[in-house]
């Protein structure tokens, strides 16, 4: 199998807005992508990464808030409870943070990298990170949660990121 090289796509790159396809059958290629995603997440000092962020339009995420690595395929939130507000950053939005209200506790169903069903009950930071990464699979970004005032405040940074993304696209 060829070595899979991944890079983090930044705001402005169209792949971040695409809805991810469900993975029908998990293969060695998917396991390799999940491993590379985890390596990239760790080397980038992140705590979560979704496949669209690395240019792959498939429903896969990796998450590690310090309590162990989750490699999840086709994750779906089946229950939400409570509310919490956290300031969230994103590897696809370097230098940008947005306060977001999300569920405090969630129950999630997914498959592990070998296709086995997984059920996760998460709360606090883990719940937030899982919701954030699942948003990526729907083409939803942190900036979509920003108020009008926050968007105005972040306008310069967002323009700079979009310009960088365009320059990258043109250099390919």
What does the alpha-carbon distance between residue 98 and residue 56 come to, in Å, rounded to a whole number?
25
Task: Report the pLDDT value the prediction gives residue 166, as an integer from 0 to 100.
Answer: 85
Catalytic residue among 58, 113, 133, 150: 133
Domain presence at residue 1 = no
CA dihedral angle for residue 92, residue 94, residue 99, residue 103, rounded to 10 degrees: 30
Within 10 angstroms of residue 109's Cβ, the number of other Cβ atoms is 15
Euclidean distance between CA atoms 132 and 58, whole angstroms = 16
Per-residue confidence (pLDDT) for residue 39, from 0 to 100: 96
Domain that holds residue 33: 14-171
CATH number at 142 reads: 3.90.45.10
What does the alpha-carbon distance between residue 39 and residue 5 come to, in Å, rounded to a whole number? Answer: 11
Phi and psi dihedrals of 78, rounded to 5?
Answer: -105, -15
Residues in contact with 172: Cβ distance below 8 Å, sequence separation at least 6, in sequence order: none
Residue 10, Ramachandran bin (φ over 0: left; ψ between -120 and 50: alpha; else beta): beta
Answer yes or no: 133 catalytic. Answer: yes
Write the CA distances from 96 to 89, 125, 135, integer angstroms.
Answer: 6, 18, 17
pLDDT in tens, the chain (172 residues): 556 779 999 999 999 999 999 999 999 999 999 999 999 999 999 999 999 999 999 999 999 999 999 999 999 999 999 999 999 999 999 999 999 999 999 999 999 999 999 999 999 999 999 999 999 999 999 999 999 999 999 999 999 998 988 887 777 6
Q: Is 100 within a domain?
A: yes
In a domain? residue 92? yes
In a domain, 167, yes or no: yes
Q: How many domains does the chain have?
A: 1
Do the domain assignments include residue 4?
Answer: no
The verdict on residue 132 lying in a domain is yes
pLDDT given for residue 27 in this prediction: 96
């Amino acid at each position: 199998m060829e070595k899979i090289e991944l890079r983090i796509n930044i705001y402005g790159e169209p792949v971040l807005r695409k809805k991810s396809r469900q993975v029908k059958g998990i293969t060695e290629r998917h396991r390799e992508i999940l491993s590379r995603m985890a390596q990239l997440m760790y080397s980038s000092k992140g705590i979560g990464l979704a496949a669209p962020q690395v240019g792959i339009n498939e429903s896969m995420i990796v998450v590690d808030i310090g309590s162990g690595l989750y490699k999840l395929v086709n994750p779906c939130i089946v229950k939400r409870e409570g509310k919490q507000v956290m300031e969230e950053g994103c590897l696809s939005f370097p230098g940008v943070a947005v306060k977001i209200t999300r569920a405090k506790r969630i129950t999630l169903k997914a498959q592990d990298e070998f296709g086995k069903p997984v059920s996760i009950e998460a709360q606090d930071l883990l719940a937030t990170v899982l919701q954030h990464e699942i948003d990526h699979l729907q083409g939803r970004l942190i900036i979509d949660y920003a108020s009008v005032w926050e968007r105005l405040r972040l306008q310069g940074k967002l323009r700079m990121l979009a310009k960088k993304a365009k320059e990258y696209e043109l250099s390919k």
